[in-house]
Structure 1
Amino acid sequence: MRDSKCSKKFPKPFQTQTSTSDDGYPKYRRRSPDQGGQSATVRNYDIDNRWIVPYNPLLLKIFDAHINVELYSSIKSIQYVTKYINKGSDQATFSIQSPNEVETYQSGRYICSSEAVWRILSFEVHDRAPTIVHLAVHLENGQRVYSSYALKMISRKLTYDRVPSYYTWNQSSKTFQRRKQGTVVDGFPGIKKTDALGRVYVIHPNNSECFHLRMLLHVVKSPTSFAHLRTVQGVIYNTYQMACKAMGLLEDDSHWENTLSEQLFAVPLHH
């Protein structure tokens, strides 16, 4: 649906075929009476297809309201819908003149009928789902976090970003604790899971070690120490970047070297 503020001026020009303009809005076919279009006289006004907007008779009958329907082929249509759904209540500024000609200005809030009913019935005004838990990243000795989740059996299969689904962070004790509400996990008595998602804070690549530490936290399951994160196949690497490279998480020129080696051995030698 489109309101009067966004409607284009009428009457529209006649058009033989439907086309899409540069801004994504369609230009519908509007045949003139000479081309088979319809015309009529309503309340002493002559109207034709130039004055008709796309509509759905079923919706008009159901809602008993003015509803026009259009088909869009641009991202602007999504922006339009999102803007008008989330823009909040309208506001208006008006003035009141008293008999003594003293002018007072007030900022008034307009509440439409649908919002009034929504609030009278005590419906939730807003909601967010699922829960997003932000997870911090720090280098060794940067911040101490005492975590008990690594000692639990279920956590042996979890990476850092999946921990919030099963555990909650206790800010006072600085520890992860089992969730008391949620769906029971089969095979793990006492463990419950929710749809909460963990999102690790973004680290700029210029902060190389912390950036590669964040990368390892999404791969290594149930790390028990910082040294554990740097351990790959029993080898403890000095840096997180070296550990990422050993795990194949970083791109290098090895695939080019392997390709050249394969081509070299594939070329027959002539004496």
Structure 2
Amino acid sequence: MPSIVSPIHRRYVCKNRNRTLIFIHLNQTKFCSVEYIHLRDTVVNEGNTTNVGRLTILPSSYTGSPHHMHEYTQDAIAYVRHYGHPELFITFTCNPAWDDIQQLLLPGQLPVDRHDITVCVFRQKLKSLMDFMVKHEVFGSVRCWMYSVEWQKRGLPHAHMLIWLYNKITSNEIDNVICAEIPDANVDKDFHEIVMKNMIHGPCSTMNPNSPCMIDGKCSKQYPRALVSNTVTGNDGYPLYRRRSAEDGGKLATIQMRNDDIEVDNRWVVPYSPLLSKTYEAHINVEYCNSVKLIKYICKYVNKGSDMAVFGMQPERSDRNVVIHIDEIAQYQAGRYISSNEAVWRILSFPIHEQSPAVVHLAVHLENGQRVYFTVANVQ
């Protein structure tokens, strides 16, 4: 049976997105603006107002635009300013081996053949996970939360979440929430298999130098991690989670890679929540946020937008007779990568970002920060 995402479906997404972008492009007099202080600096420093207002703007109302992602980042910073740093940073990845997906496939089909099933199941799992944490308060009462959905190059969706709790997690409570060790197969065989299938990184390094995470001969995810007997905090980054060695009581396990059996220890375990991993049987990376320095990076990472590659050239600033037209719509479309899974997600109108409570944007500005709008009458 052919994939649900045929060229017709892809053209449907592109056609509707292009209609929206064309409308924005033809109604620039309603969007074209600049802050007064920038207008004043242009007049004083350059003496040339030719380029002022010569800008095609892609407004923040367009989902996925740079201005849209910037607003969500500012919302996250507003949470931090009002409630302090979040307690948990969670990455939830779709598992194509879920029974919910496998049971809906026709004979001979693979999850890659039915993006509609993958998308719908992940959306339901994501809603269930948020309800599990927020309504059932498995980590305590939740003050606020936000998440963004992204897509990997092979198409599987994943969500980055930030969770703020009323009762802060203390350093001596981290081990009750987050684990970075291989569970004992003799105690819980099913849980051991879940962790081994979903929460083991690589292995990479000398075991697999061609791993995608390897950059300049080193793992970009900093694996293998150091073995420590107790969780250590206060290093202005992620904590050093407890990863006991085999001599200290840590467990060893064997995985298969390229038809070879490789023995791994706790150095290769991605931090996880035993409760979430056992409940959802997927890759759910749970990290404890213990430093304010991480917040800006995490907030920007959660709202970093789609992958793209683009470059451009423009004349030197000394040439004042050349009019430089900056087209944000063209920049947004150039080099944009959208997978089939993301196309189906957008066709079904599932939200890419959600947060609670809502952040109200007030029309307040700094001195000379008010916006000057350009119309057909004054843009010339």
Tell me which interval the TM-score lies in, with the shorter structure as reference length.
0.3 to 0.5
Larger helix proportion, structure 1 or 2? Answer: 2
TM-score by length of 2: 0.28
Larger Rg: 1
Larger relative contact order (Cα-Cα within 8 Å, sequence gap ≥ 6): 2
